[in-house]
């Protein structure tokens, strides 16, 4: 394919109206992924229903999109690893509740910094070939325009369609940086419809074996692109800092997930102390004194969602 044809197609993709942009989470086009082809792929679910994807980047941490939880409570979400066919019972699956979440300045109005770290209630078992960790790029690394990448997920194949039974994978091409945004990696499919759609939000963009992107949103209808991924390399230092300072284990903290119940919002009464992100809102302390004897330390960077979250206050 000539460079002129490539640039012309990319220009056509980017001309699509922004009015159609929305957080997405599915795969259009492509093929069925092979069993265990993407062992790092996570299915994030509520009541057994998949709604977003993610990637296992450490035995205890999932990297996904902050937009996945704009209208969902992390306290009732679960993470499933080792899954393939979502309609079958599979012995390879490992199911987890969420111990803590960390975000870094997510701006839902501008779809910026759309990354979220989920700490699992225990470490994933990596002895099975069905579950593995995906490596990340170094801080500020770039991926060149024209690079061939892959994105896989259980998302729908058309707007308001049914979720895919098994993950599908599509080959995509990175667009030039001047036709994207500095905080994103953008991709398109050059020869047909293809890309992310509803249900694939948070799924990783794999380029040269590294998770360079987190599926965030698309401009235009599903599969017509371009697709925008949060640029993981901009957050590598922050990701490492969160992973290296995990929230206390079950031996020192209770309320570690769906089974035991994450702390719920006590409402708007009382003064603000620390908080837990629930549906992108702060769960405030009823009284500051509650923080003195029982707190749940979070290390979340300041953002546009609200006040800087430092600790959860209340009984654990």
Whether residue 32 is predicted with pLDDT greater than 60 in this model: the reply is: yes
In a domain, 55, yes or no: yes
Instruction: Give the mean model confidence (pLDDT) for residues 65-79.
Output: 90
Do 29 and 151 belong together in one domain? yes
Whether residue 21 is predicted with pLDDT greater than 70 in this model: the reply is: no
Label residue 5 by pLDDT band (50, 70, 90).
Answer: very low
Do 112 and 176 belong together in one domain? no
- Rounded CA-CA distance 187/182 in Å is 14
Share of the chain above pLDDT 90, in %: 50
Both tokens assigned to 273: 């102390």
- Rounded CA-CA distance 185/91 in Å is 35
Which of 30-44, 209-223, 302-316 is least confident?
A: 302-316
Whether residue 313 is predicted with pLDDT greater than 50 in this model: the reply is: no
Do 170 and 111 belong together in one domain? no
Q: What is the DSSP letter of 55?
A: E
Do 53 and 119 belong together in one domain? yes
Do 24 and 145 belong together in one domain? yes
pLDDT of 275: 30
Instruction: Give the mean model confidence (pLDDT) for residues 296-307.
Output: 37
- Of the candidates 277, 274, 268, 235, the one whose C-alpha atom is nearest the C-alpha of residue 114 is 235
Do 142 and 12 belong together in one domain? yes
In a domain, 160, yes or no: yes
* Boundary of a domain, candidates 134, 163, 178: 134
Do 17 and 54 belong together in one domain? no
In a domain, 223, yes or no: yes
Share of the chain above pLDDT 70, in %: 63
Instruction: Give the mean model confidence (pLDDT) for residues 292-301.
Output: 35
Do 267 and 304 belong together in one domain? yes
Q: In this structure, are residues 219 and 14 in contact, taking their beta carbons and an 8 Å threshold? A: yes
Q: What is the CATH number of the domain that holds 215?
A: 2.40.10.10
Structural domain span for residue 28: 3-33+135-231
Do 127 and 187 belong together in one domain? no
In a domain, 249, yes or no: no
281-285 long-range contacts (CB < 8 A, ≥24 apart) are 281/306, 282/306, 282/307, 282/309, 283/312, 285/313, 285/314
pLDDT of 175: 92
Q: In this structure, are residues 201 and 25 in contact, taking their beta carbons and an 8 Å threshold? A: yes
Label residue 163 by pLDDT band (50, 70, 90).
Answer: confident
Q: What are phi and psi of 290, to 5 degrees?
A: -65, -20
* Boundary of a domain, candidates 116, 134, 152: 134
Whether residue 219 is predicted with pLDDT greater than 80 in this model: the reply is: no
In a domain, 243, yes or no: no
Query: What's the predicted TM-score (pTM) here?
Result: 0.71
- Rounded CA-CA distance 308/181 in Å is 26
Of residues 164 and 69, more confidence is placed in 69
Contacts of 47 (CB under 8 A, 6+ apart): 76
Q: How crowded is the C-beta side of 56, counted as CA atoms within 13 Å?
A: 27
In a domain, 15, yes or no: yes
- How crowded is residue 259: how many other Cβ atoms within 10 Å of its Cβ? 10
Burial category of 96 from C-beta neighbours within 10 Å (exposed 0-12, middle 13-18, buried 19 and up): buried
CA 262, 268, 273, 277 torsion-angle sign: positive
Do 128 and 270 belong together in one domain? no
Radius of gyration of the chain (CA): 19
In a domain, 155, yes or no: yes
Both tokens assigned to 306: 């609200």
Whether residue 263 is predicted with pLDDT greater than 70 in this model: the reply is: no
Do 206 and 219 belong together in one domain? yes
Do 155 and 173 belong together in one domain? yes
Q: Count of domains in the chain?
A: 3
Instruction: Give the mean model confidence (pLDDT) for residues 90-105.
Output: 95
* Boundary of a domain, candidates 187, 216, 231: 231
| b/e burial code for range 150-181 (CB count within 10 A of at least 16 → b) | bbbbbbbbeeeeebbebbbbbbbbbbeeeebe
Whether residue 238 is predicted with pLDDT greater than 90 in this model: the reply is: yes
In a domain, 87, yes or no: yes
pLDDT of 198: 67
Q: What is the DSSP letter of 104?
A: B
Q: In this structure, are residues 23 and 219 in contact, taking their beta carbons and an 8 Å threshold? A: no
For the stretch 108-129, pLDDT in tens is 999 999 999 999 999 999 998 9
Which three-class secondary structure state does DSSP give residue 82? coil
Of residues 264 and 144, more confidence is placed in 144
């Amino acid at each position: 394919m000539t460079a002129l044809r490539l640039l012309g197609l990319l220009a056509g993709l980017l001309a699509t109206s922004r009015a159609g942009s929305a957080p997405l989470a599915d795969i259009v086009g492509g093929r069925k992924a092979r069993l265990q082809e993407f062992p790092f792929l996570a299915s994030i679910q509520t009541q057994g229903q998949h709604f977003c994807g993610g990637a296992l980047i450490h035995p205890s941490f999932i990297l996904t999109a902050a937009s996945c939880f704009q209208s969902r409570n992390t306290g009732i979400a679960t993470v499933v690893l080792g899954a393939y066919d979502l309609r079958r019972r599979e012995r390879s699956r490992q199911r987890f509740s969420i111990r803590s979440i960390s975000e870094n300045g997510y701006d839902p109005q501008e779809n910026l910094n759309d990354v979220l770290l989920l700490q699992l209630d225990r470490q994933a078992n990596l002895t099975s070939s069905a579950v593995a960790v995906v490596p990340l790029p170094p801080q500020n690394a770039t991926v060149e325009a024209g690079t061939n990448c892959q994105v896989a997920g259980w998302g729908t194949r058309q707007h308001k369609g049914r979720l895919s039974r098994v993950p599908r994978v599509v080959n995509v091409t990175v667009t030039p940086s001047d036709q994207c945004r500095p905080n994103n990696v953008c991709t398109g499919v050059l020869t047909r419809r293809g890309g992310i759609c509803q249900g694939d939000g948070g799924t990783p963009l794999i380029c040269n074996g590294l998770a360079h992107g987190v599926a965030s949103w698309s401009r235009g209808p599903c599969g017509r692109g371009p697709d925008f991924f949060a640029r993981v390399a901009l957050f590598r230092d922050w990701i490492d800092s969160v992973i290296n300072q995990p929230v206390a284990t079950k031996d020192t903290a209770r309320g570690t997930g769906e089974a035991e119940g994450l702390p719920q919002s006590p409402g708007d009464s009382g003064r603000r102390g620390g908080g837990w992100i629930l549906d992108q809102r702060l769960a405030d302390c009823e009284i500051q004194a509650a923080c003195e004897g029982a707190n749940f330390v979070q290390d979340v960077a300041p953002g546009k969602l609200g006040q800087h979250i430092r600790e959860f206050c209340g009984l654990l």
